[in-house]
């Protein structure tokens, strides 16, 4: 991962959006790799315009990464999302939309992914409604080369159907969990970023 910026002069807004989705996918998929955390710790925290909506939550993520070791962050990830049995915090859309894993929301998601020409990596342990997978899909819909699929209309539809209805609930659960330190800041940043996304899509609706 290259040096991270929320935005910047000469940095295309679409590239910045895709990079944030890619970052969130990495943070939620597995304990962050040492290289990722090293880049976070030296990331730029000031937005070009002071007081930008994402500036403070982004600063908190960078600060939390600087305050904790790689091992502590990895242990926190495992405590929140891993372990034997039911995880402390579930990262799957079906859980929030229907109360059950592998339920109707996942079936509808698979239909929509097939329409986009996207298929699941059969080696992946997680189902497609995992927050990391959904963020990767959004990254592709923003930065992909196939303009028939990677376009604003598809982004808006996918976001409204498969992220917007539940992502705030996930962020609330994560931020409130007593074991969350680094991931509390990640949850707050996720909520802020998704809010910006929702407002942006509303403007073009």
Identify the CA nearest to 90 among candidates 169, 24, 5. 169
* pLDDT value of position 204: 76
* pLDDT value of position 51: 57
Give the predicted TM-score (pTM) of the model.
Answer: 0.91
* pLDDT value of position 47: 59
Mean pLDDT of 39-59: 80
* pLDDT value of position 205: 65
The DSSP 8-state label assigned to residue 205 in this structure reads: -
Rg (C-alpha) for the chain, rounded Å, is: 17
* pLDDT value of position 3: 40
Mean pLDDT of 145-157: 93
**Residue 7 pLDDT greater than 70, yes or no:** no
Angle 85-91-97 from CA coordinates, rounded to 5°: 105
> At 9, is the pLDDT very low, low, confident or very high (cuts 50, 70, 90)?
very low
**Residue 173 pLDDT greater than 70, yes or no:** yes
* pLDDT value of position 134: 98
Beta carbons within 8 Å of 199's beta carbon, 6+ residues apart: none
For residue range 107-143, what is the model confidence (pLDDT) as tens digits?
999 999 999 999 887 777 889 999 999 999 999 999 9
Tell me what percent of the chain is helix, strand and coil, each rounded to the nearest 5.
Answer: 60, 0, 40
**Residue 32 pLDDT greater than 90, yes or no:** yes
Average pLDDT value for the chain: 90
> At 23, is the pLDDT very low, low, confident or very high (cuts 50, 70, 90)?
very high
Mean pLDDT of 72-77: 98
* pLDDT value of position 50: 54
Q: Specify whether the CB–CB gap between 184 and 65 falls below 8 A.
A: no
**Residue 52 pLDDT greater than 90, yes or no:** no
């Amino acid at each position: 991962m290259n040096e991270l910026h929320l935005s910047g002069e000469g940095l295309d807004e679409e590239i910045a959006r895709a990079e944030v989705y890619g970052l969130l996918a990495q943070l939620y998929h597995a304990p962050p790799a040492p290289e990722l955390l090293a880049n976070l710790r030296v990331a730029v925290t000031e937005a070009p315009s002071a007081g930008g909506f994402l500036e403070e939550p982004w600063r908190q993520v960078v600060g939390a990464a600087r305050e904790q070791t790689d091992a502590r962050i990895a242990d926190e990830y495992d405590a929140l999302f891993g372990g034997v049995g039911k995880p402390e915090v579930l990262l799957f859309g079906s859980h929030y939309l229907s109360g059950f894993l592998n339920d109707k929301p996942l079936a509808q998601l698979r239909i929509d992914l097939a329409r986009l020409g996207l298929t699941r990596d059969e080696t992946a342990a997680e189902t497609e409604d995992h927050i990391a997978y959904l963020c990767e899909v959004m990254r592709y819909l923003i930065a992909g080369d196939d303009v028939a699929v990677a376009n604003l209309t598809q982004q808006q539809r996918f976001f409204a159907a498969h992220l917007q209805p539940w992502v705030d609930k996930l962020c609330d659960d994560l931020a409130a969990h007593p074991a969350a330190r680094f991931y509390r800041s990640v949850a707050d940043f996720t909520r802020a970023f998704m809010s910006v996304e929702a407002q942006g899509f509303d403007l073009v609706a």
